[in-house]
Chains A and B, each alone.
Chain A
Amino acid sequence: MSGRSSGWAASSALLLPAAAFFLAFALGPMAAAVYISFLDWDGVSAPRWIGLGNWAHAFTDSLTLRSLFLTAQVMILSWAIQTPVSLLLGVFLAGYQRYRAVLGAFYFLPLLFSAVAIGLIWSSSMLSADGALNTFLRSVGLGFAAQDWLGDPDLALYAVIAVIAWQFIPFHTLLYQAGARQIPRVLYEAARIDGAGTLQQFFYITLPQLKYTVVTSTVLILTGSLTYFDVIYVMTGGGPGFATRVLPLHMYITAFQNAQIGYGSAIAVILAVAGVALSLFLLRVTGFGRMESQAEGL
Chain B
Amino acid sequence: MVAAGRSARAERAAKPPRAGRLRANPAPLLLGLVWFVVAFYPVYYMFITSLRTQAGFLSGSLWMPPSNPTLENYAGVIEDGIGLYFLNSAFVTAVSVALIVAVSFLAAYAIARIRSGVARAAFKVFLLGLAIPLQAAIIPIYVLIVHIGLYDTLYGLIPPQVAFGIPLTVLILVNFIRDIPNELYDSMVLDGSGHLRMMWNLVLPLSRPALITVVIYNALQVWNNFLFPLILTQSSNIQTLPLALQQFQGQYGVNVPGLMAAVFLSVLPVMVLYLIARRQLLGGLTAGFGK
A, B from the same assembly? yes
- Which chain A residues have a beta carbon within 8 Å of chain B's beta carbons? 1-3, 7-8, 10-12, 14-15, 17-19, 21-22, 24-30, 32-33, 36, 43, 85, 88-89, 92, 95-97, 99-100, 103, 105-117, 119-126, 128, 130, 132, 135-136, 139, 166, 169-171, 174-175, 178-179, 182, 185, 188-189, 192-198, 216, 220, 223, 226-227, 229-230, 233-234, 248, 251-252, 255-256, 261, 264-265, 268-269, 271-272, 275-276, 279, 294-298
Indicate if B256 sits at the interface (CB-CB under 8 A): yes
Residues in B with CB closer than 8 Å to A28 are 140, 144
For residue B282, give the distance in angstroms from its CB to the closest CB of chain A. 6
Q: Is the CB of A295 within 8 A of B290?
A: yes
B205 within 8 Å of A (CB atoms): no
**B40 near A175: Cβ-Cβ < 8 Å:** no
Q: Which of A11, A30, A139 is close to B136, meaning CB atoms less than 8 Å apart?
A: A30
List of B residues within 8 angstroms of A99 by Cβ? 29, 32
Given A3-B189, A116-B246, CB of A8 within 8 Å of CB of B118: yes
CB neighbours of A198 from chain B (8 A): 22, 25, 27
A112 touching B135, Cβ below 8 Å: no
- Interface residues of B, CB < 8 Å — how many? 117
Contacts A/B (CB < 8 Å), 26 sampled: A11-B119, A22-B163, A22-B167, A25-B159, A27-B132, A43-B143, A92-B28, A108-B282, A112-B271, A113-B267, A114-B226, A114-B245, A115-B226, A116-B245, A121-B263, A126-B45, A130-B58, A171-B285, A175-B289, A198-B27, A216-B290, A230-B242, A248-B135, A252-B231, A268-B135, A271-B135
Q: Is the CB of B134 within 8 A of A27?
A: no
The residues in B between 1 and 50 inclusive whose CB is less than 8 angstroms from any CB of A are 3-4, 6-7, 10-11, 13-14, 16-17, 20-22, 25, 27-29, 31-33, 35-36, 38-43, 45-46, 49
Q: With A and B bound together, what is the CA distance between A193 and B16 in angstroms?
A: 8
Interface: B133 (CB within 8 A)? yes
The chain A residue sitting closest to B37, CB to CB, is A106
Which chain A positions have C-beta within 8 A of B3?
Answer: 96, 185
* Interface presence of B110 (CB below 8 A): yes
A120 touching B6 by the CB < 8 A rule? no
C-alpha spacing A43/B176, complex, angstroms: 44
- Apart from A25-B160, A28-B140, A194-B17, what 18 extra A-B contacts exist at CB < 8 Å? A15-B119, A17-B106, A25-B164, A26-B167, A29-B144, A30-B137, A33-B137, A33-B140, A111-B282, A113-B270, A124-B260, A135-B62, A166-B42, A175-B289, A185-B3, A261-B139, A268-B135, A298-B290
92-137 of chain B: CB within 8 A of chain A? 99, 102-104, 106-107, 109-111, 114-119, 122, 125-126, 128-129, 131-137
> Would A116 and B14 count as touching, CB distance under 8 A?
no
Check B42–A126 contact: CB distance below 8 A: yes
Q: Say how far A111's CB is from chain B's closest CB, in angstroms.
A: 6
- Bound-state CA distance A179–B160 (Å) is 33
Q: Are B14 and A192 in contact (CB under 8 A)?
A: yes
Q: How far is the CA of A248 from the CA of B136 in the complex (A)?
A: 8
Question: Which parts of B155-169 form the interface with A (CB within 8 Å)?
Answer: 159-160, 162-164, 166-167
Known: A193-B17, A195-B17, A298-B291. A271 touches B133 (CB 8 A): yes
A18, B139: Cβ atoms closer than 8 Å: no
Knowing A8-B116, A14-B195 touch, does A117 contact B291 (C-beta < 8 A)? no
Q: Which residues of B contact A233 (CB under 8 A)?
A: 226, 230, 246
Q: Assess whether B194 is in contact with A3, with CB atoms less than 8 Å apart.
A: yes
Query: Are A294 and B21 interface neighbours, CB within 8 A?
Result: no
Q: A19-B122, A171-B286 are in contact. Are A234 and B194 (CB under 8 A)?
A: no
Is B211 engaged at the interface, CB distance under 8 Å to the other chain? no
Task: Known A178-B291, A193-B17; judge A96-B7 contact (CB<8 A).
Answer: yes
Nearest first, the 7 closest Cβ-Cβ pairs linking A and B are A25-B163, A114-B224, A29-B140, A272-B136, A32-B140, A18-B107, A14-B110
Q: How far is the CB of B25 from chain A (nearest CB, A)?
A: 6
A residues in contact with B45, CB < 8 Å: 121, 125-126, 132
- A19 to chain B minimum Cβ distance, whole angstroms, is 6
Given A113-B224, A178-B291, A189-B10; A14-B109 close (CB under 8 Å) = yes
Write out the residue numbers on chain B whose beta carbons fall within 8 Å of the beta carbon of A111: 282, 285
Q: Which of A25, A89, A185 contacts B144 (CB 8 A)?
A: A25
- Taking the closest CB of chain A, its distance from the CB of B147, in whole angstroms, is 11
A223 to B134, CA, bound (A): 12
Cβ A106 vs Cβ B172 within 8 A = no
Beyond A18-B103, A29-B137, whether A1 also contacts B195 by CB under 8 A is yes
In the complex, whether B208 has a CB less than 8 A from a CB of chain A is no
Question: A275 to B133, alpha carbons, bound, how many Å?
Answer: 8
B289–A295 contact, CB under 8 A? yes
Residue pair A21, B137 in contact (C-beta under 8 Å): no
Please, what's the 1-or-0 string for B215-244, where 1 marks a CB less than 8 Å from any CB in chain A?
A: 000001001111100110000000001110
Q: Which chain A residue shows the least CB distance to B128? A: A27
Complex CA gap A257/B45 in Å reads 34
User: Are B141 and A103 in contact, CB atoms less than 8 angstroms apart?
Assistant: no
Would A124 and B231 be within 8 Å (CB), given that A14-B110, A25-B162, A295-B290 are in contact?
no
